[in-house]
């Protein structure tokens, strides 16, 4: 067997692992939107964010050994971006619908490749086509009538910051041990969110936390520690744009879990939108000379 064939097979295997890792992240995220929406009705977003990240960071504490300046720098930048994402999300879900939150977050499918193009990364025609089909399907599924509120605008901020986070992670994930890089990110967010939560701490908040320890543990261990680590692993092997495309399944699954956990509607629009989202996912992974062309700011690049 030729060396080039072995190398190609190895790269393909790693690419598939990256897809699986991000797919698992998407599945978990779909459960966290309705759970977070439900949780912020009981206690403050700051306390919830601090609680889940403190739990997550504690699990990764042993991996803070043998750090160097470069990984500290990259981890701090990622941690700051991640803190902004979760702060916007927690505040936004106080008033925004969980289904609408899933739709807004899905805008990363177009934000990430466009931001990447600004920094010189290739922009494929099929990426734009898949993004258009996906947003159409998700819009049919999740968008209700009514004007945008402050919660929606905060969720837009969450989406934009997460797009930047994904691009930065793509550039840094291959340079460091994933466990150590994850540990730094989680501790940065845990410290910042604890400072943010200090004004909201009260006896009532501690009682609420004790009554909702199951949700906090799930959000901390699975929805925060698990997803941050898996995304760091996945983006070693796939691009930020591809990861964003895979995340289009998030609104579909969010709608299912919101229907199941919160009693939100999932009817005819869901049945129409879901096939469009799945079509976009297939389109994003397809190979064709007609749609694999690279575009730079609307012009074809050969």
Question: What are the boundaries of each domain within the chain?
Answer: 3-301
165 pLDDT more than 90: yes
Does 252 have pLDDT greater than 90?
A: no
Give the whole-angstrom CA distance, residue 101 versus residue 84: 16
Higher-confidence residue of 140 and 79: namely 79
**Confidence band, pLDDT 50/70/90 cuts, at residue 56:** very high
Higher-pLDDT residue of 295 and 131 is: 131
Mean pLDDT on 226-238: 92
- Percent of the chain scored above 90 by pLDDT? 27
Provide the pLDDT for residue 263.
Answer: 54
pLDDT digits (tens, 9 = 90+) for 191-228: 999 999 988 877 777 787 777 788 889 999 999 999 99
C-alpha to C-alpha distance for 45 and 299, rounded to whole angstroms:
44
Tell me which H or E stretch contains 299: strand 299-301
Q: Cα separation of 201 and 203, whole Å?
A: 7
At residue 70, the pLDDT reads 95
- The model's pTM is 0.78
d(CA 225, CA 185): 10
The distance of Cα 63 from the centroid of its chain, to the nearest Å, equals: 23
Say if residues 230 and 80 touch (Cβ distance below 8 Å): no
d(CA 130, CA 108) in angstroms, rounded, equals 12
* Mean pLDDT, range 245-269, rounded to an integer: 62
pLDDT of residue 214: 85
d(CA 156, CA 158): 5
Average pLDDT of every residue of the chain: 79
Q: Which residue has the higher pLDDT, 94 or 46?
A: 46
Decide if 60 contacts 182 (C-beta within 8 A).
yes
């Amino acid at each position: 067997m030729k060396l080039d064939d072995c190398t190609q097979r190895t790269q393909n295997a790693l690419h598939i692992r990256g897809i699986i890792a991000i797919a698992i992240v998407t599945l978990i995220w779909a459960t966290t939107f309705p759970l977070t929406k439900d949780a912020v009705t009981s206690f403050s977003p700051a306390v919830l964010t601090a609680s889940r990240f403190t739990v997550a960071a504690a699990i990764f504490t042993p991996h803070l050994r043998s750090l160097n300046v470069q990984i500290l720098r990259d981890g701090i930048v990622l941690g700051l971006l991640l803190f902004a994402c979760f702060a916007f999300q927690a505040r936004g879900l106080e008033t925004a619908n969980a289904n609408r939150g899933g739709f807004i977050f899905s805008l990363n499918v177009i934000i990430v490749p466009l931001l990447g193009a600004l920094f010189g990364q290739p922009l494929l025609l099929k990426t734009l086509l898949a993004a258009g089909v996906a947003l159409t399907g998700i819009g049919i599924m999740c968008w209700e009538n009514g004007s945008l509120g402050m919660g929606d605008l905060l969720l837009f901020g969450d989406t934009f910051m997460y797009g930047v986070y994904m691009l930065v992670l793509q550039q840094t994930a291959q340079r460091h041990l994933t466990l150590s890089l994850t540990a730094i990110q989680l501790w940065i967010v845990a410290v910042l969110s604890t400072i943010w939560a200090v004004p909201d701490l009260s006896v009532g908040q501690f009682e609420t936390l004790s009554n909702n320890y199951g949700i906090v543990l799930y959000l901390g261990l699975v929805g925060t520690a698990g997803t941050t680590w898996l995304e760091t692993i996945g983006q070693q092997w796939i691009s930020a744009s591809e990861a964003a495309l895979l995340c289009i399944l998030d609104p579909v699954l969010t709608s299912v879990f919101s229907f199941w956990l919160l009693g939100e509607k999932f009817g005819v629009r869901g049945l129409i939108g879901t096939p469009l989202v799945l079509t976009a996912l297939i389109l994003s992974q397809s190979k064709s000379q007609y749609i694999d062309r690279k575009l730079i700011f609307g012009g074809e690049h050969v």
